[in-house]
Amino acid sequence: MTARRTLTSAERLDWLRLARTASIGPATFAALLARFTDVRAACDAVPRLARRGGARELRIPDEASAREEIERTAQLGGRIVASAEPEFPAGLAALDPPPPVISVLGDPTLLQREMIAVVGARNASGLGIKLAGMIASDLGRAGLIVVSGLARGIDQAAHRASIDSGTIAILAGGVDVIYPPESRDLYQDISRRGAIVSEMPLGMAPLPRHFPRRNRIISGLARGVVVIEAAERSGSLITAHYAAEQGREVFAVPGSPLDPRAKGANRLIRDGAVLTESADDVLNAISPMLKQGFREAVPQDSPLPPPGAEIEGEADRVRSAVREKLGPAPVDVDELIRQTTAPAEAVTTVLLELELAGMVQRHPGNRVAWK
């Protein structure tokens, strides 16, 4: 994690340019910052590294396009916050790695408050929607900001019940893209009285691959995630899984074994989630955590050596061995280094080049696999 500080205008442009480059996600962004002395040096090096990884061409957005996104966001009444800045939410800053940037419409001060996530089924039952409203309303009255994903069903019920006390909607597309379309009135109300947040660029439509990243932000912002009605393999369970990985509390409302919408929440309870019937169950569990801060990733005191001629020469020597050891199943990077018997810096350089070329994907737990 980079130490918190206010970026200069030039640094902000470079930060956004790097974050908006194709094939650079949070993990690759963090690897580049650890490798280079500053974000401008990383921007300058990326095209060359991508070519070494096998890409024909990788273009970084120019300063004009980054400046335009910043200005358009400001015209909408929002701003773009980099993960290095003091205004970046503490919960997200604690993630390893954090999203490089978020766009925020509405009241950014809500992101400095204590938050709780309430998520659940899109095709929720009437009782589920009623309970979601009751729990969200009570949590709001207790001083917590309610975070959810603006989806139909439970998410929208939680937002509506907490609009007066404070609510934040996390989107899978750009902050200016209303999804689902029928939530326009609620979206506009939240943008006036709460906050809309996204990791994605302005104008980007929500794609299936974006929703896990949205869910990771929902859980990362909050002290815990309350799941109300979730089928097996639902997005709500992905959010709960992220919460558990991030050290957040997981809460689940039990339901009838005959209702498929209850299977996911019931399984969470079997796996150790807090059985939840009211807001009091949530408040009793998280009250000791409040105001104590999040456990953040250890800052990198100094960058790793840039891949100069010597390291790149070593990377050329071991590239074939690294590629042979990679497959569709994720493998631990440390295990890859051990199996190739190559210097760690050479292996990580090859992996970084392949990531930038869009050929390798990084997975949780410092694991990599072919895309």
- Domains along the sequence of the chain with CATH: 108-289 (3.40.50.450)
58 phi, psi to nearest 5 deg? -130, 110
**Is-contact 53 355, C-beta < 8 A?**
yes
**Is-contact 190 167, C-beta < 8 A?**
yes
pLDDT tens digit sequence for 161-193: 999 999 999 999 999 999 999 999 999 999 999
pLDDT classification of 309: cutoffs 50, 70, 90? low
Distances (CA, A) of 208 to 172, 173, 205, 329: 9, 10, 10, 21
pLDDT classification of 312: cutoffs 50, 70, 90? confident
What average pLDDT does the segment 55-74 reach?
A: 95
